[in-house]
Amino acid sequence: MVSNQKTPSQHNSTLFISPMINNRRQNLFITPPNPQAQSLFDSPGSNHSSFFNLDRGNLNPEASSSSSNAPPNSHGNGRISAAEPLTPAEKLRLWRHDALMQHQYKTAEFIGDKVLALTDDPNDAFWLAQVYSNSGNYLRAKSLLTSKPEFEKSVSCRYLAAYCLIKLELWDEALDLVGESNPFRKDEKYQVRNSDGGIKLEASMCYLRGLIYANQNSFEKAKESYKEAILVDVKCFEAFNELINNNLMTPSEEWDFITTLNYRDADDNDELIKLLYTSRLSKYLNVSKLEEAEHILREEYDLGDNCDILLSRADYLYVQCNFDECLSVCEQILRKDLYNFDVIPNYLSCLHELGGKNKLFLKAHQLAENHPTNPMTWLAIGTYYLSINKIIEARKFFSKATLLNPNFGHAWIGFAHTFAAEGEHEQAISAYAFAARLFPGTHLPNLFLGMQHLQMNNLNLSEEYLATSYQICNSDPLLLNELGVIHFHKNNFGKAELFFQEALGAAKYLNSDSKTWISIHANLGHVYRRGNQPFKALECFNQVLKISNKNDSNILAAIGLIYLKLGNCFKAIDILHDALAVSPSDPVASDLLKRALESNKNNGALFLKNAGDKLLDLNLPTLQYRQRQKKQDLIGTHQADLSIQSNKFTTPLTNKTKVLRKDELTANVIQRTHKDADTTNEINLIAHDLEKGEDSSDEDEEVIMDIESD
């Protein structure tokens, strides 16, 4: 009676010690034996397995036979077990288990306690502790699990105890319990197959270790632990999820890692699992592979409408800056599953990007109503405030989100953005730095750090950060753009051009009307301008103007400067006027305009020649016509008419400007002093100013565009 329970090894899962496991066929993946065989697939807790079974049923016929066998089998089991009379303890265990599954914790506790008292078996202690922890009483569960040394020896008990400690946020104790490294690693038998189809406890322990490390801010160790967990058992999705969601690995690391996994643990589902995992990887690399995976999942597995596949699609679209499409995919997901949290960051960023304030408001309210304790809610509220430009409030809510979950990267970056938006570089830097610590695997925090330092004119520091970022991800057009800007500032035009070209290459797949694309082009134009290639520069700028939906005064000013350098000051003035029309207080443009006008003054002769003679020639017919008319007048009437006519001639223009009393208006006179210096020198000076204006404005754009693009 006491000895009918098995001791689980690290290669087993809790399925192994579930009641009646010994009666089940080995290859059947049904979690808890359920007294009511009819409701097998709906019973809580068996979700997972039924999901797999159903899928498999659709896929390979030979598997489907086994799956269709399942219900009769469990019937059979029931019959068999009915044939072999159960011991009283076993009956109690079944009772306990059913009560647990039906969330009747009082019953489960009552019975479990009695079973434990009867058997004193670690497995029964495990299940009782399970009952405690399910009802939220982690401390009790933990103290039960650590009450006896034999309990501590059991792997499953240790796992649950560690889990409870983590829930209680007692990180150090939890780490003591699971050990600082995997105690089973010396076995070197990663290949040991799990016999029961559940998640190996060893993997779960590794996952817990990762969780602890992550909370202790040792992300490198956490990453290793998570990786180990997946290596031990590929089914430990929890660890995979942590790795990917928190960007603990660089994109290339991710892609390397995914190939080293051992999918045999997933049995017949290995292909599916591999594809599913692949679809979650970073979208910066191997786009073709991603698309292939997605295609297979859609076509062969018929998972095209599955939220996770759609989410992967949304991620991909987001990385491509195709916000419109991304938003529609996100909305599709939300239509299917209103309370899906995974999609919310993408959804929020898209709305922010596209100015969907109203929808943001609605979503934030929905979330606040339904999930007041979820950090995502506060992220949504913060994003809403950020997009209506209420920085202070936005910061408050972002910080609330980080309080609820200190490892919530989106919130940290949003928090940092609020400082950046107010020009508080120091604080922004410290917040970004925190985010960078949280996510060693993503290049964005470093990129933002670089951008902040660039704005503070710390070129060297900035370059360092950008270089770090570049090591992590070398294909982000934004990053390449920033690197180009750095080299531009260092007067390294050749290199800058190289980077911008590279950025353009990387942005090839972006929508051509995206802001990044525009700012890269604009920057390239500046490089050409400084590099004395005015015509190439003009081409770039014109491209920008053609695509950009707004007339950027900086671009126009730059074009004006080029024309000025080319000596076409009439055109320059024209363009500069346009620039000032867009932003009337732009100091660079107005200064340039002053200079252009100055040079127009010196070009008088040219104008007189051009305008004068050419225009007069063009208007010759009219003139001649007038002459003829006049002569006729002269013949017909006397000369007095002529003077009348000439007088009339002056009227329409001065229509309503009869008298301009200048003296009275002198009060309004604005005194302007013109410095007389070598024009070309000054133009260069101005050019310098212009660059500054230009680049910083670019960065502004980027900051906006990158909000939560992680």
Partner 1 sequence: MTDKDQVDRLRSDLLRAYYTLSDINLFQAAKWCAEALNGLPEQKESSEDYPDELPHGSIGDDDPRVDQNKFLLAKTYFNCKEFDRAAHVLKSCKSGNALFLRLYSILISVDKRATEQTDGSINIGSVNELTDQQDVSPNNSKEVVNDLNSRLSKIIQESENYLSKNDKGNAFLYYLNGVIYNKKKKYQLAQSNLYNSLKLFPYNWSAWQELIASLNTFEEAITFISKIKAAKSSLSSNIMFQFFEVVVLQEFYQQSASLFDSLNTLISIFPTFTFLKVQQFLIAYHSLDYFQAEATFDQILVDDPLRLDDLDTYSNMLYVMEKRPKLSFLAQFASMIDKFRPETCCVIANYHSMKCEHEKAIMYYKRALMLNKNCLSAWTLMGHEFVELKNSHAAIESYRRAVDTNPKDFRAWYGLGQAYEVLDMHLYALYYYQRATNLQPLDKRMWQAIGNCYEKIDKLEEAMKSFEKALSIDNYANDDGEGVVGVEPHICYRLATVSEKLGNSKDTYKYMKLCFEQEFEWGITDETSKARLWLARNSLENRRFEEAYELAKDLTHSNAHDIEEARSIAREARNRTSK
- Residue from 489, 467, 390, 557 nearest 699 by CA: 489
**Least separation in angstroms between CB 610 and partner 1:** 9
What residues between 467 and 526 interact with partner 1 by CB under 8 A? Answer: 513
Assess 615 for contact with partner 1 (CB under 8 A).
Answer: yes
Tell me which amino acid residue 179 is. Answer: G
Contact 410, 379 (CB under 8 A): yes
Contact string (CB under 8 A) for partner 1, positions 378-407, x = contact:
-----------x------------------
> How deeply is 427 buried, as exposed, middle or buried, from its count of CB atoms within 10 A (0-12, 13-18, 19+)?
middle
Q: Indicate if the alpha-carbon torsion angle 152, 155, 158, 160 is positive or negative.
A: negative
Distances (CA, A) of 496 to 490, 506, 573, 687, 701: 9, 15, 29, 17, 19
Point out which span in 334-342, 426-434, 501-509, 607-615 binds partner 1 (CB under 8 A). Answer: 607-615
As a whole number of angstroms, the distance between CA 526 and CA 521 comes to 9
Point out which span in 4-12, 168-176, 377-385, 659-667 binds partner 1 (CB under 8 A). Answer: 659-667
CB nearer to partner 1: give 80 or 615: 615
**Least separation in angstroms between CB 667 and partner 1:** 9
Point out which span in 103-111, 394-402, 423-431, 612-620 binds partner 1 (CB under 8 A). Answer: 612-620
**Least separation in angstroms between CB 204 and partner 1:** 50
Assess 598 for contact with partner 1 (CB under 8 A).
Answer: yes
Residues contacting residue 35 through CB under 8 Å, at least 6 positions apart: 78, 94, 98
Q: Which of 2, 259, 369, 649 binds partner 1 (CB under 8 A)?
A: 649
Q: Indicate if the alpha-carbon torsion angle 401, 407, 409, 413 is positive or negative.
A: positive
User: Site size for partner 1, by CB under 8 A?
Assistant: 60
Distances (CA, A) of 623 to 16, 346, 617, 619: 106, 68, 9, 6
Assess 625 for contact with partner 1 (CB under 8 A).
Answer: yes
DSSP tally for the chain: helices H, then strands E: 38, 0
**Least separation in angstroms between CB 674 and partner 1:** 8
Q: Which of 186, 335, 550, 675 binds partner 1 (CB under 8 A)?
A: 550
Distances (CA, A) of 79 to 5, 400, 674: 21, 56, 104
DSSP string, 214-245: HHTT-HHHHHHHHHHHHHH-TT-HHHHHHHHH
- Residue from 345, 350, 251 nearest 705 by CA: 350
What residues between 330 and 369 interact with partner 1 by CB under 8 A? Answer: 355
As a whole number of angstroms, the distance between CA 263 and CA 248 comes to 21
**Least separation in angstroms between CB 621 and partner 1:** 4
Point out which span in 70-78, 370-378, 413-421, 593-601 binds partner 1 (CB under 8 A). Answer: 593-601
**Least separation in angstroms between CB 615 and partner 1:** 4
Assess 581 for contact with partner 1 (CB under 8 A).
Answer: yes
Assess 623 for contact with partner 1 (CB under 8 A).
Answer: yes
Q: Which of 68, 608, 679, 688 binds partner 1 (CB under 8 A)?
A: 608
The alpha carbon torsion through 164, 170, 174, 180 (nearest 10 deg) reads 150
Assess 420 for contact with partner 1 (CB under 8 A).
Answer: no
What residues between 139 and 178 interact with partner 1 by CB under 8 A? Answer: none
CB nearer to partner 1: give 83 or 653: 653
Interface contacts to partner 1, rule CB under 8 A? 355, 389, 513, 546-547, 549-550, 570, 573, 578, 581, 594, 597-598, 600-601, 604-605, 607-608, 611-612, 614-616, 618-627, 630, 639, 642-643, 645-646, 648-653, 655-657, 660-662, 664-665, 668-672
